[in-house]
Amino acid sequence: MSRVRTCLHPLLATALTCGVVLGSSRAPDSISPVGAVPTPRQLAWHDLQFYGFIHFTVNTFTDKEWGYGDEPESVFNPTALDARQWAQVARDAGMKGLIITAKHHDGFCLWPSRFTTHSVKGSPWKNGRGDVVGELARACREYGLTFGVYLSPWDRNHAEYGRPAYLEYYRGQLRELLSDYGPLFEVWFDGANGGDGYYGGARERRRIDGATYYDWPNTWEIVRERQPHTVMFSDAGPDVRWVGNEKGVAFETSWNPLNRAGLFPGAPNYAAVAAGTPDGTDWVPPEVDVSIRPGWFYHAAEDGDVKSVDKLVEIYEQSVGRGANLLLNIPPDRRGLIPDVDVARLREFGARIHETYKKDLARDATARGAEERGGSPSFPASLVTDGDATTYWAAEEGATRGTIELEWKRPVRFDRVVLQEAIALGQRVQAWTIDAHADGRWKRIAEGTTIGYKRIARAEAMTTTRLRVTIEKARARPVISTVSVYLSPLS
Ligand code: FUL
C-alpha cells in the first residue's frame, strides 16, 4: 500500500520532501512555491474569511459620518451599552472576529488613553470610568471571536495634527492599543486624510503629504515589534489591502500578489493596483469592507435601509467567494446596542450561509484525475474531497492545466461549487471551467478566472452523478486543495 504525504507551508515544503509515495520506487515529486507567497500571519488571516466592523463614537450621537473634532465629550452617552450583545450577534452571524473604531477621524477615543482627555474619560458614560475597547476585547474572548482595532491616522481634534508632535501622539496611542487589550488579529489604518477640522480650536484646513508625514515604515515597525502575529490593513498593505470600493464586491479577477513599492495608506495611484498583479512581488490580499446600512455609523433615519438577506448573501459570495475576506460593518445605536432590525437580519443571513455550506456533497463522491492531464500520482484528486484544506491535488509535473472528475453513486442536486487553491504555494490559476453530466452529455455550468483562497461558483440548481473541474490555464502547475459541492436551501 502506498501512502501519500503532503504539506502546505512553503517553508515546510522546502524543508521536507512532500508528496513522497512511500513504499514505491517512484521518484519524489515536490512542488516549489511560485511567485509571492503569504506569511504565516496572512495564512491565519485568510482562514478567518468573514468578520465584523463596529463603527461607534460621538458620530452615533451627533448623527454624522465624519465628526469635525469639536464634539464635547459629554455627547458620548450610551444608555445601555453591552459589548457582549455585539459579540453574540457577530458570532451568531458566522463572523470570526470584530474590529472597532477605537478612534475615528473626529479624534474621540473609546478607551481612556493617557495621552488625551478627549475620550470616554470625559464622558458621562460610566462616570468617565468606562472603556469600550476593553469591554469589547473581553466580550470577543468570551464569545470565541478574534479582536482588532481601527485607529484613524487623521485626527480632526488634535491641535498638533499635521506637525511632528502629532505623530508621537498617534504612535503612543497605537502602543497603548497594542499593549493593553490582548492579541489583535488586525490593525486598520484608514486612508482618508487631511482637510478641515477643529484642530484644538484652529478651525482650519490642514494638508499633509501622505507619502512622508506619517513615516509609515516606522509606525508599522511598532506593530511588528509588539504583536508580530497581527496583520496591518491599509489601502496598500503592508499585509492586507483595500479592495477599492465600499460596495461589498471583490474583483472578478483578483490576484493576491501586487507590487507594493511606493504604496502606503492614501496613496493616490492605489486604484491602479486594486485587482492585484499576477507576478507582483508582495502577497497583499484584498479585504472587502461594507456596511449593513448606507452609513458607517448608526442613523435612525436609515433603520428602513438595512441590507436584505439576499443582498448580504450576494455580498458574501462576491467577496469571500472571490478569494477576499469580508469585513461587514454593524454599527451600534445610541443605546450602545446593535439595533433589533439589524440583529434579525444578521441572524437570518447567518442561518442562510450555515444552511447552504454545512453539507459538502463532494465528500460522498469519488474524485479522480481525468485521463488526460489528470494529475500527479503523488497528489491524487481524492485529496480535494477529504475535507482537509491542507492537502491538495496537483496537475502532473510540468503541466499548467489539468482536470478532476467527481462521481457519485447516487444523483446529487446542487447549485454551488467551491474551489480552493493551496495558496501557501502561491496563487496560480488563471482560468477554470466546471461541467456537469446530464442527459447523456457534458454541460458547462460555470467558468471563471482566478481562484486564490476560495472561489464560490454559483450555478442553476441541477441533478447529476458526474462533475468535471478543469483548470484551463495557470501560471505554474495548478495545486487545488478543495472542490466542494453544495445546495442552498432556496433551490
Ligand atoms: C473610510 C472612512 O472615511 C469612513 O468613515 C469609514 O471609517 C470607512 C471604513 O473608511 O475611509
All domains of the chain, ordered by start, with CATH?
A: 42-357 (3.20.20.80), 361-486 (2.60.120.260)
What SS3 class is residue 292?
coil
Q: Is the CB of 289 under 6 A from ligand 1?
A: yes
Q: Which residues have CB under 8 Å from 105's CB, separation 6+? A: 66, 67, 69, 152, 154, 155, 156, 190, 192, 197
Q: CB of 414 within 8 A of CB of 486?
A: yes
- What distance in Å separates the CA atoms of residue 471 and residue 450, rounded to the nearest whole number? 10
Which ligand 1 atom is the nearest neighbour of the CA of 191?
11
Which ligand 1 atom is the nearest neighbour of the CA of 188?
9
Q: What per-residue confidence (pLDDT) applies to 28? A: 60
Cis peptide before 238 (omega within 30 of 0): yes
Q: What pLDDT, in 10s, does the model give residues 453-479?
A: 999 999 999 999 999 999 999 999 999
Tell which residue, 214, 219, 263, 212, has the closest CA to residue 241: 263
Set of cell numbers at residue 388: 482537509
Q: Is the CB of 287 under 6 A from ligand 1?
A: no
Contacts 24+ apart (CB under 8 A), 128-132: 130/81, 132/56, 132/81, 132/83, 132/100
Whole-number Å distance, alpha carbon 242 to ligand 1 midpoint, is 11
Tell which residue, 47, 2, 34, has the closest CA to residue 21: 2
Backbone angles phi, psi at 17, to 5 degrees: -95, 115
Q: Is the CB of 296 under 6 A from ligand 1?
A: yes
- What distance in Å separates the CA atoms of residue 438 and residue 447, rounded to the nearest whole number? 17
Q: CB of 73 within 8 A of CB of 118?
A: yes
Q: CB of 147 within 8 A of CB of 197?
A: no
- What distance in Å separates the CA atoms of residue 56 and residue 253, rounded to the nearest whole number? 34
Query: Best of 190, 270, 293, 330 to mutate for ligand 1, by most ligand atoms within 8 A of CB?
Result: 190
- Residue 9 identity (one-letter amino acid): H
Q: Is the CB of 154 under 6 A from ligand 1?
A: no
Query: Virtual CA dihedral for 158, 164, 167, 168, nearest 10 degrees?
Result: -100
Query: Residue 70 class from Cβ within 10 Å (0-12 exposed, 13-18 middle, 19+ buried)?
Result: middle
Which residues face 349 on adjacent strands? Answer: none
Q: What per-residue confidence (pLDDT) applies to 374? A: 65
Which residues face 101 on adjacent strands? Answer: 150
Q: CB of 405 within 8 A of CB of 367?
A: yes
Q: Is the CB of 190 under 6 A from ligand 1?
A: yes
Q: CB of 380 within 8 A of CB of 393?
A: yes
Which residues face 338 on adjacent strands? Answer: none
CB burial string 16-30: b at 16+ within 10 A, e below: eebbbbeeeeeeebb
Q: CB of 388 within 8 A of CB of 449?
A: no
- What distance in Å separates the CA atoms of residue 444 and residue 457, rounded to the nearest whole number? 12
Which residue do the cell numbers 486612508 mark? 191
Backbone angles phi, psi at 360, to 5 degrees: -85, 105
Which ligand 1 atom is the nearest neighbour of the CA of 101?
7
Tell which residue, 239, 238, 288, 278, has the closest CA to residue 258: 278
Q: Which residues have CB under 8 Å from 141's CB, separation 6+? A: 147, 182
The secondary structure of the chain in percent helix, strand, coil, rounded to multiples of 5, reads 30, 25, 45
Query: Best of 234, 296, 298 to mutate for ligand 1, by most ligand atoms within 8 A of CB?
Result: 296
| 286-291 and 231-234 strand pairing | unpaired
What SS3 class is residue 145?
coil
Q: Residue 81: how many CA atoms within 13 Å on its side-chain side?
A: 23
Q: What per-residue confidence (pLDDT) applies to 8? A: 41
Give the residue ranges of the chain where pLDDT is below 70.
1-28, 268, 371-374
Q: What per-residue confidence (pLDDT) applies to 211? A: 83
